[in-house]
């Protein structure tokens, strides 16, 4: 096969999301290396020296303008190896990327109303609900309100699945780079003083 034939077709060269987007990072750390003597004394010492509380004020939201993420814990931080914890905020009318992966995920809905589409099936949610993304599911998250944001705390075991060589992940539709109708003036709630996230009154 010639080099020219191996080249990606023109449609594969379409511009994706800006490079500064977290989800556009092509060099993400999914599982940290663990090195050292067989007793791993130094690694245990390092782990025990890591912070036990991470302050929201020290962690900024990334991505947008429809779906934002605040990544509290992931393997690259050196704190944990087995799970990934992040906060998702969807602007008015916003939606996430459409994607699939082997690992499960739990979305605890902090505020707002919205729905999931899993393998073509819609599941509605509101504040206080838990949305479960099951294994090997192509899915997308939607804010159903045209004028209020929605938030979900996401807990997933992606690092453990990847550690076990279950590597399937695929983006079907990338995150939007333009605000949804009604969300043009929305600013992600980054510097709020009250983190109790009421469902009403924002």
Give the separation between CA 31 and CA 42, rounded to whole angstroms.
18
Closest CA to 70 of 57, 83, 52, 79: 57
Is pLDDT at 9 greater than 90 in this prediction? no
The CATH code of the domain at 17-173 is 2.60.120.10
pTM for this structure?
Answer: 0.76
Confidence at residue 197, expressed as pLDDT on a 0 to 100 scale = 59
Confidence at residue 96, expressed as pLDDT on a 0 to 100 scale = 96
Please, what's the largest Cα pairwise distance for the chain?
A: 62
173 three-state secondary structure: strand
Is pLDDT at 11 greater than 60 in this prediction? no
Closest CA to 152 of 200, 103, 197, 100: 197
Confidence at residue 26, expressed as pLDDT on a 0 to 100 scale = 64
Confidence at residue 120, expressed as pLDDT on a 0 to 100 scale = 95
Confidence at residue 110, expressed as pLDDT on a 0 to 100 scale = 95
pLDDT-derived band at 4 (thresholds 50, 70, 90) equals very low
155-200: pLDDT as tens digits = 998 878 777 788 788 899 998 999 999 899 999 998 777 766 555 5
* Residue 163, phi then psi, degrees to nearest 5: -60, -35
19-64: pLDDT as tens digits = 566 666 667 777 777 777 778 888 889 889 999 998 888 899 999 9
Mean pLDDT of 3-17: 41
Strands 62-63 and 130-133: unpaired
86-125: pLDDT as tens digits = 999 999 999 999 999 988 999 999 999 999 999 999 999 9
Confidence at residue 13, expressed as pLDDT on a 0 to 100 scale = 39
Region at 42 (left for phi over 0; alpha for psi -120 to 50; beta for the rest) = alpha
In the chain, what are the domain boundaries?
17-173
């Amino acid at each position: 096969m010639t080099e020219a034939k191996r080249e990606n077709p023109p449609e594969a060269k379409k511009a994706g999301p800006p490079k500064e987007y977290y989800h556009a990072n092509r060099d993400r750390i999914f599982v940290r290396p663990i090195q050292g003597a067989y007793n791993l004394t130094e690694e245990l010492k390092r782990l025990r020296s890591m912070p036990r509380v991470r302050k929201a004020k020290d962690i900024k939201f990334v991505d947008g303008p429809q779906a934002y993420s605040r990544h509290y814990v992931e393997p690259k931080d050196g704190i944990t190896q087995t799970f990934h914890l992040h906060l998702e905020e969807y602007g008015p009318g916003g939606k996430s990327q459409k994607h699939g992966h082997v690992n499960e995920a739990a979305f605890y809905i902090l505020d707002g109303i919205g729905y999931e589409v899993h393998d073509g099936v819609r599941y509605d949610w509101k504040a206080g609900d838990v949305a479960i993304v099951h294994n090997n599911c192509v899915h997308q998250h939607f804010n159903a309100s045209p004028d209020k944001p929605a938030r979900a705390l996401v807990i997933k075991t992606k690092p453990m699945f990847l550690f076990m060589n279950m590597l399937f992940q695929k983006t079907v539709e990338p995150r939007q780079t333009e605000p949804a109708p009604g969300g043009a003036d929305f600013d992600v709630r980054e510097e709020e003083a009250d983190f109790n996230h009421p469902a009403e009154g924002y």
